[in-house]
Structure formats: structure tokens, C-alpha cells
Chains A and B, each alone.
Chain A
Amino acid sequence: MVHAMVTQALGSLARALLLCAALFSGTAYAQAIEAKSIEDLVAILGAGDFTAKIDATQALATTGDPRLVPILQALLDGNLYARKSDHLVVIGKEQGGTLTATDPLAEKVIGQAPVADFERARVNNRLRTVLQTALGALQLAHPDPSRRKASADALFKTPSVEMIEPLRLAIEHEHNGTARRALVRALAATELQFSEKIDAKRAAVVTLAALADPDVRSYLNGRINSIPETANAEQQELKAAMTAAVVQIERRIASWQTFGNVLQGISLGSVLLLAAIGLAITFGVMGVINMAHGEMVMLGAYTTYVVQLAFRQYLPGGLDYALLVAVPAAFAVSGLVGVAIERGIIRWLYGRPLETLLATWGLSLMLQQAVRSFFGPTNMQVTSPSWMSGAVELTGGVVVTYNRIWIAVFALLVFGLLIFIQRRTQFGLQMRAVTQNRRMARSMGIRSGWVDALTFGLGSGIAGMAGVALSQIDNVSPNLGQGYIVDSFMVVVFGGVGNLWGTLVGAFGLGIINKFLEPYAGAVLGKILVLVAIVLFIQWRPRGLFALKGRAVEA
């Protein structure tokens, strides 16, 4: 029953493809074996002569049944046995004279028996070639597109002449874009290497030249080197075409790399944005320098760790969703600590920014030490949920991991939420009122003390949420926050204090500039250059890219 379902699921593509593969390699036998069942054909593999085995292999290939892959592979590897007593075909694993036998189709262990009871199914070179082709064809028809892509990639790496037709057919029926591109690439490489017609080779070069793929570049370079100086004019012409193709590919890879840099920059920018966004509120809106901002981020990361620990203990099945719980938890933890800091320390220091800076720095030292004493100085293990692991591979060797994408999305969501709070809520209105004219706001009945505390709590809570995201890409250690504090300040200062949009532009701007400098200057020198650039930038625009002008500045 399972067999029937799987076969059905394969659909018409696989059938047509495999039939073709069979036809291409030996049409005459096709009809004769059609009547035979898969079980019968497998039996032939175990006992028949080489010709029969070849026919059976080709017949099996036409079924497109993925269960056959291990069987054919076993035959190829010499792991297929037939029981001497009743010719039962099994996949065997020999260890110390004992064979562990597996039923080939049911994939179930049957039992153990002395190896002497079995006879190994033998292969010769011709059968081997047929087996390899059949395996390739079966895998090209695999129901999982990533498996189809993998086998196409394998065929690109080791092209074989038999696969030209199966590849061609597979391309015709392939609907998955990624797999299709891999198939086209494999076919072009195969044709370039084995086709007898020079036109086909030329066409293959054109196809390959259109790909911005470092693998294709090295493949072509290999081909170019394989054509000797003494080759005929036709070969020389092909060589020239390939050389031109390499140049074209390189140019395309370069522009993809640029695009990749932009993506990397956006990714770094979103991390910077997350780290700086809370600071944009406490520093930008309230004018409070919070040097313990990094520790709010760190607390958020540790909250993530604790939440995951709790899930592992009490709800292991939901571990994938621990992060969803960690986000509000981190907001609450860091936010409450923030409110406590504001009420306990900062409110006594309004109007004395330098003193605030020193006091919060002291606080950051204490928080770090407290976390170190409680959790220990080592890095904590925070796992990524399954929906955040993995990566998208774009053309040109550009890889974007899912967690980076999620972080960028998360950063923008947090930013949007903040803009919403500031612009559209009663609290946001009060927040703006208090920061613009405290006395006026107070005389209108706004409890400015509470607004201060909540604003600071909001900034700190957002820092905590940033900590959840950073726990996915950075070490969760007591020093986590220290790594971001200078960068965060740079972002806020660069973007312009008191302007959330400036922070957004500042974060992405610095992220992208950083990633563009890295290839030329290296990561460290790039960072130095960025810092120097910001120092110079502040000379030019002392109040940032999007500074407030006029009277507001004087206050």
C-alpha cells in the first residue's frame, strides 16, 4: 500500500523520465520486462546473470520508486546478497562472519545469520555503469526537490555521458526553480564535456556563462586547462568562448558579491538597529546617557537562556517556540530593571548628563558582576529553533541564513512598534510632551515622573528584546552588552539624536558601510575606519544626520 502511494506521488514526471532513461540505454528489453513486478526484478538482481541484471536494473529504473535507491546502491557497493537456500534477496551488513540482513523493499531487519548462508550478488563494469545511471535517474526523480537538486549537483561535479538524456527530460518536467537551475547547470556541464556536436558545446558554454556561480567558474577553468595548446581550431574557438564566459561569470559574481555585501550590511544594520533602538529612546528622546544599556541587552539574552531552560525542563515539545515566550519575558525583565534604574538613580540626575553617564556605568559594572556571580563567567548555550536554522542560497555564492532574516524582520517590527507607540498612543503623546516641555506637561496634569520611568522602562525593555535576538547570533556571556555599547552610541549620534528615523538610517547606513569596507580593509581596520569617519562626520554635523534645528537645540 505504501508502495502504491509513493509511486503515485511521484507523478508523471518520474515515469516519463525513467522510461526515457531505460529506452536510451536498452529499448529492446523494455517490453519484455514490463510485465514483471518490482519484487521479481529485485530477485533477478540477486541471482541472475549480468545481462539479466542489466535488464532488471533498467526496468527498475523506469518505476521511479525511491525505495529502489538503497537496493541499487547496495548492489553497487557489494552489499546485496541472495540466500543460498531460497534465493531471497537481502541487503546485508557483514560483521565478523555474521550478516545482518535487511529486507530490501520493506527496509526492515529480518534477522542475523552466518554469512556463509548467503551469496554476494556480483557486478561487472558494464552493470556498474548501468547502475550508476539508474541511480542518478532515480534520484533526479526523487519526490523531495532538495534531493533532486543534490543529485543534479552531484552530476555537475562528476558528469557522465549517460545522463545527458535523463537530465534533459528532468529539466522538461522540473517545476521547482532551484532544482531546475541545478539540472540546467549539470546538463550544460555534461554536454560541454561529452557532447560530440560542437554546436551543443557552444550552447552549453553560453548557458554556463549566464550563471554567476563560483563552481561554474572553477569548472570552466578546469575545462580551459584541459584543452591543449595544440588543439584544433574548433577547440581553440571553444576555449576562447569559455575564457570569455569566465570573465562574464566573474563580473556577474562581483555584482552579486556587492549585493551580498548590501545584504550583509542590512543584516549587521538590523543588529545595530536592535541594539541602538532602545538607546535612541533613553538617550535620544530623554537625553539620558545610559551606559548600562548594553547590560539591558545582556539581561534580555540571559532571560532567553532561562526561558529555554524552563522549556527544556517542563515543556520539551514546545522548545521551538521558547523564543516567542522569551521576547515578552525579556521585555518585562529589562523593562522592570529599567524602571528601577530610573526611579533609583537617574531621576536624581536629570540635567546632569555627565553624572548620569558615570552612575550608569557603575551600574553596568555591577550588573555584569551580578550575572557573572549568578550564572558563571562562561558562555550560556542558547539554541536556535528549527524554524530559524538553515539558509537561503542565492546565486553567486551569496548565502543568507534564516536567523539573520528573522533578526532583520524582528528589528523592523520592533522599530515599527516603537514608532506606533510614539505617534499613536496616549503614552507616546505624554512621552513627547514631557520631553519637550516638562513644566508645561506637568501643569497639564501629566505625571511626568511616571512618564519618565515608563519611557526609560520602554527603552530598556526594547534593549531586552534586542538581547533575545542577539542571543541567536552572539555568545550569551556577561560581556555581551559591552560589545554593542560603542556601536549603539555611534548609530544614535550618526543618525541624529531625538530622531527615531535617523536611528534607522544610521543603523543600516553604518551596517552597509562597514560591510563594504571589510573586503578591502579587513574587519578590524574597517571598523576603525568607520569610527574615524564618524568622528569626522560629527565635526561636519555635530548633531547627526537628521538633527533638529532651531530653538529646540538650545534647550
Chain B
Amino acid sequence: MRRQGSLFFQTLGDTGGTILVALLLAAAVLVPILNGLPASSPFHVSNYLVSLFGKYLCFALLALSVDLIWGFAGILSLGHGAFFALGGYAMGMHLMREIGTRGVYGNPVLPDFMVFLNWKELPWYWYGFDSFPFAALMAVLMPGALAFVFGWFAFRSRVTGVYLSIITQALTFALMLAFFRNNFGFGGNNGLTDFKDILGYSLQAPTTRVTLFAASALALALGYVLCRFLVSSRLGSVLIAVRDAESRTRFLGYRVEHYKLFAFVVSAMLAGIAGALYVPQVGIINPREFAPANSIEIVIWVAVGGRGTLWGAALGAVLVNYGKTYFTGALPEMWLYVLGALFIGVTLFLPKGVGGSAREWIGKLMARATKAKLALAPQPGVTE
């Protein structure tokens, strides 16, 4: 191959990625089997763990989507929780419709909260959500559409860096306020909950939960492959160019805003998928998912795992969330200290994250062998 340097980056990227994809596929197959074992077996995976790790996988997909734009295009979105939540709401709306007459008020069409608010008919934007394929499509399209509109305005006007970060934060903050309103038609403060089943299977059933887990693992694996494909193409190369020297990229003739918009929309759609998979597993979606603090937390998962590595982002999401589960259970007072220290420590001492640093160490080892080749260069060989 002609590109040794980038090859070694790609292989390393791919080593991590290959391990990740292999692990995910193995988990998608093994976890359902192990979950099916009797509880007395030492290999039994409890329902609790299935749900917990199913949730982590959704977060990992979300982190992956953030890494795609932050790690490769330099867009730090502090509002990605909004796309996640929109995907979640789309799925939640479907699950609400699925409840049917089993709700408290027994209304076959209207969800309980609408009956409670004395609404007589379904708002138009709830039409179609009784169909699962439609809801699944919306879980991808709605975040994508919002990202398209927002990104089109923002990138066209060349809003970059911290300005962009701040307005993405304002975006999710505004959405949070909107979804808190009862008359917005999404259940207000309480959000959507009390789901019964999905595609006819009870959400409480272990088989459903394990299926959702496997679906999340597959989604993450596919998401990873997609992102890897994108960043390995010349498009990925342009995105990195935009990240490192946006102005220069423009003078090479690339429409930077189009590239950013493409990456932003793809990323939002991935976040939407993550949200749609998350909601049936946790059984609730409410406006707090839009809180700006949540979106910033996603960024720290990516930072911990290693910005620009993709697989590191997924790893970081699982690590940080495992830490969160542990600390909020064992030492709830300590969690915010830990999280805060993580933010500071990673940015100060581990700017490349776990994944990036690992890659660097391996890279240094390998570079020692090829060091001679990188010697000082001669003058340009121009002759008149």
C-alpha cells in the first residue's frame, strides 16, 4: 500500500474497532444464551445486568455519534442529547399508542395524559405513530431533520467553535423548556411512560429485554462500521482537514458547510437511533433528557474514551456510565466529585483519552522501528 502512515493509523483504529465489533457480535449472541441459563449457574447473566448493559450500549452509540462530529469534524455539540431524546420520544410515542385500552382511562386512541388534559382527539403530529415502522423511521428522520435545519443555518453562517457549542446548548435548552409544557402534547413534565409492550411482546419479559440488548449491540456494531467507513473515505479526510484548518479547506475548493452538515445530520440520526433503543429498555422518556447537563456528559464519555478514535468513544461511554452506576449506588455524595474530576483530569492529563493514549503508546513502540525513515529531508529537487 502506498500510505504507510495512515495505514498504521487505520490498522490501529481498526484493531480497536475490530475488537469492539467482535465483542458486540459475541455479546449479541452469548448474552441471550447466558441469560437463559438457570439463575444458579455461575455463567448466568441476570436480567438486571442485561438491562443495564443494554442501556450502556445505547449510550455508547450516542457517544459514537458525538465522536463522529467532534473527533473528526471538530464540531463540539453540547446539544446532542436533544437528538437522542427526539429519537426516544418518537419511540415513546409508538409505545404510548401500543398501550391502547390498557391505560388508566382505557381510551383506545388517546394516551392517558391527553385524556387527563381533557383533549378530545389526537394531535396531528401523533398520527402514524401506531405503526412501528413509521415510528422507527421518525426516530431517525426527526433528529436528522432538526440537525439539517439547525446545521444548515449554523454552518452556512460559519458559526464555529465555542459559539456553535453554545448555541447547540441553547437549542437543547429551548427544546427542554418546550417539552416541559403540557400543551406541547408530549406529556409535559412526566414525559411518556407506563409502556406495556413492543411489537406485541411485553417489555417486562426477559426475552424482550435480551432481544433489545442484542438489537442495541448490533446497532452499535453497525454504527461503528458506518462511522469507520465514513472517516476512512476521502470525505473523512476532508472532515479532518476542516477540523484542523477550516479556512484552508475552503481555499482548496471544498464547501466546508456541506461536509459539516452531512456529518452533523448522520451523527444526529445515529443519536436518534440510540434514543429509540434506549426508551423501551428504561421504560420512560421525559424532558430531562434534553437538559444541557446531559449533553455535556456525553462529551466527557467521548473525551475519556479518546476523541477521534470511534471505538474509544464507545468504550468511554460504558466506562463512565459503569462508574456512575457504581458511585450513585455506593457513594452517591461522591459521584459529582468523580465526574467533575474526570472532566478536569481528562482534559489536563489525558487529552487524547484512554483510546488515543493507547494508540499513541503502541504507535511510539512501532515508530521506534521505522524512526530511521523519518530522518531530515533534503532540499526540493527542482532544476531550472
Do these two chains really belong together in a complex?
yes
Give A contacts to B, CB under 8 Å.
289, 291, 345, 348-349, 352-359, 361-366, 368-370, 373, 482, 486, 489-490, 493, 524-525, 527-528, 531-532, 534-536, 538-540, 542-543
Tell me which residues across on chain B come within 8 A of A539, comparing CB atoms: 153-154, 156-157, 159
With A527-B177, A535-B170, A539-B153 known as contacts, the answer to whether A362 contacts B344 (CB < 8 A) is yes
Q: Is the CB of A359 within 8 A of B343?
A: yes
Q: Which of B162, B167, B341 contacts A353 (CB 8 A)?
A: B162
* Neighbouring A residues of B293 by C-beta, 8 Å: 482
B165 close to A357 (CB less than 8 A): yes
B344 touches A524 (CB 8 A): no
* B163 and A538 form a contact (CB under 8 A): yes
Kindly identify which residue among A355, A362, A366, A524 contacts B177, using a CB–CB cutoff of 8 Å.
Answer: A524
A369 lies within 8 A of B336 (CB): yes
Q: Interface with A: B6-14, B128-136, B296-304, which one?
A: B296-304
Q: Across the two chains, which residue of chain A brings its CB closest to B74?
A: A354
- Considering only CB atoms, which chain B residue lies closest to A544 in the complex? B163
Chain A residues, Cβ within 8 Å of B76? 354, 357
Known: A348-B348, A525-B181, A531-B173. A366 touches B340 (CB 8 A): yes
Please give, as numbers and ranges, the residues of chain B lying within 8 Å of A486 by CB-CB distance.
Answer: 169-170, 173, 292
Q: Is B333 interfacial (CB 8 A cutoff)?
A: yes
Known contacts A345-B348, A349-B348, A490-B170; is-contact A536 B343 (Cβ 8 Å) = no
CB distance from B251 to the nearest CB of A (A): 14
Say yes or no: is B198 at the interface (Cβ < 8 Å to chain A). no
Whether a CB of chain A sits under 8 angstroms from the CB of B174 is: yes
| CB of B215 closer than 8 Å to a CB of A | no
**CB <8 Å contact, A359 and B162:** no
Specify the chain A residue showing the minimal Cβ separation from B175.
A528
Residues of B within 8 A of A348 (CB): 348
* A535/B153 contact (C-beta < 8 A), A369-B336, A524-B181, A528-B174 known: yes
A-B pairs, top 6 by smallest CB distance, nearest first, are A362-B343, A366-B340, A365-B340, A369-B336, A531-B174, A539-B157
B177 neighbours in A (Cβ, 8 Å): 524, 527-528, 531
CB-contacts of B154-194 with A (<8 A): 154, 156-159, 161-163, 165-167, 169-171, 173-174, 177-178, 180-181
Q: Is the pair B181, A493 in contact by a Cβ cutoff of 8 Å?
A: no
A532 touches B341 (CB 8 A): no
Q: Which residues from A are CB-within-8-Å of B125?
A: none
Is the pair B336, A538 in contact by a Cβ cutoff of 8 Å?
Answer: no
Query: Which of A366, A493, A528 contacts B341, CB < 8 Å?
Result: A366
A355-B347 contact given A362-B300, A486-B169, A531-B170, CB 8 Å threshold: yes
Contact of A362 among B181, B333, B341 (CB under 8 A): B341
Q: Is the CB of B161 within 8 A of A354?
A: yes
Determine the distance from Cα of A422 to Cα of B180 in the docked complex, in whole angstroms: 42
Asked if B337 lies at the interface with its beta carbon under 8 angstroms from chain A, I say: yes
| A355–B177 alpha-carbon span in the complex (Å) | 27
- Judge whether B241 is part of the interface by a CB distance below 8 angstroms: no
Bound together, the chains give a CA A345 to CA B349 distance in angstroms of 11
Residues of B within 8 A of A543 (CB): 163
The answer to whether the Cβ of B351 comes within 8 Å of any Cβ in the partner chain is: yes
Main secondary structure of the interface of B (DSSP, over half): helix
Asked if B339 CB lies within 8 Å of chain A CBs, one says: yes
**Given the complex, which residues of A lie within 8 Å of B337, measured CB to CB?**
365-366, 369-370
- Distance in Å: Cβ of B347 to nearest Cβ of chain A: 4
Residue of B nearest to A287 (CB): B162
Q: Which residues in A have their C-beta under 8 angstroms from that of B340? A: 362-366, 369
Whether, in the assembled complex, B342 has its beta carbon less than 8 Å from a beta carbon of chain A, the answer is: yes
17 pairs of residues in contact across A and B, judged by CB atoms under 8 Å: A345-B348, A355-B347, A357-B78, A362-B341, A362-B342, A366-B340, A366-B341, A368-B336, A486-B170, A525-B178, A527-B177, A531-B173, A531-B174, A531-B177, A535-B174, A538-B157, A538-B163
**A373 x B342 contact (CB < 8 A):** no
Complex CA–CA separation, A506 to B293 (angstroms): 25
| In the complex with contacts A359-B347, A524-B177, A538-B167 CB distance below 8 A | yes
CB distance from B250 to the nearest CB of A (A): 14
Q: What number of residue pairs across chains A and B have CB atoms under 8 A from each other?
A: 120
Residues of A near B351 (CB, < 8 A) are 355
Instruction: Say yes or no: B336 contacts A366, CB within 8 Å.
Output: yes
Question: Contacting A489 at CB < 8 Å: which of B166, B174, B343?
Answer: B166
- Distance in angstroms from A304 CB to nearest chain B CB is 24
Q: 5 additional contacts, CB 8 Å, given A486-B169, A535-B170, A539-B153?
A: A291-B296, A365-B337, A369-B336, A373-B333, A542-B163
| Chain B contacts for A289, CB-based, 8 A | 162, 165
| Chain A neighbourhood of B292, CB < 8 A | 486
A538 to B343, CA, bound (A): 28
> A534 vs B171: C-alpha distance in the bound complex, in angstroms?
10
Q: Are A358 and B300 in contact (CB under 8 A)?
A: yes
Could you tell me the distance between the alpha carbons of A190 and B196 in the complex, rounded to whole angstroms? 68
Q: Are B343 and A363 in contact (CB under 8 A)?
A: yes
CB distance B170 to A369 under 8 Å? no
Complex Cα–Cα for A357 and B163 (A): 12
Q: Are B344 and A359 in contact (CB under 8 A)?
A: yes
Query: B166 to chain A: which residues have CB within 8 Å?
Result: 489-490, 493
* Chain A residues whose C-beta falls within 8 Å of the C-beta of B163 in the assembled complex: 493, 538, 542-543
Report the Cα distance A369→B338, complex, angstroms: 10
* Contact call B303/A358, Cβ cutoff below 8 A: yes
Contact assessment for A362 and B154 in the assembled complex, using a CB-CB cutoff below 8 Å: no
CB contact between A359 and one of B181, B339, B348 (< 8 Å): that residue:
B348
- Per the bound structure, the CA–CA distance linking A354 and B347 in Å amounts to 10
Q: How far is the CB of B269 from chain A (nearest CB, A)?
A: 21
Q: Considering residues A482, A535, A540, which has the most beta carbons from chain B within 10 angstroms of its beta carbon?
A: A535
Which of A358, A532, A535 touches B347 (beta carbons < 8 Å)?
Answer: A358
A528 to B336, CA, bound (A): 29
Question: How far apart are B34's CB and chain A's nearest CB, in angstroms?
Answer: 36
Q: Are B161 and A532 in contact, CB atoms less than 8 angstroms apart?
A: no
CB of A358 within 8 A of CB of B167, answer no
Shortest A490–chain B CB gap in Å is 6
Find out whether the CB atom of B344 lies under 8 angstroms from the CB atom of A363.
yes
Residues of B within 8 A of A365 (CB): 336-337, 339-340, 343
Q: Are B158 and A542 neighbours in the complex by a CB distance under 8 Å?
A: yes
Of the candidates A362, A373, A525, the one having the most CB atoms from chain B within 10 angstroms of its own CB is A362
Interface residues of B in 325-346 (CB under 8 A from A): 333, 336-337, 339-344, 346
| Contact A354/B165 with A528-B174, A540-B157 known, Cβ cut-off 8 Å | yes
Distance from B198 Cβ to chain A, minimum over Cβ atoms (Å)? 32
Specify which chain A residues have a CB less than 8 angstroms from the CB of B162 in the assembled complex.
Answer: 289, 353-354, 357
Q: How far is the CA of A353 from the CA of B167 in the complex (A)?
A: 15
Which residues on A sit within 8 Å (CB–CB) of B153?
Answer: 535-536, 539
Instruction: Provide the bound-state CA to CA distance between A482 and B292, in Å.
Output: 10
Chain B residues whose CB sits within 8 angstroms of the CB of A355 once the complex forms: 347, 351
Kindly state the separation between the CA atoms of A291 and B351 in the bound complex, as whole angstroms: 18
A356: nearest chain-B partner, CB-CB: B347
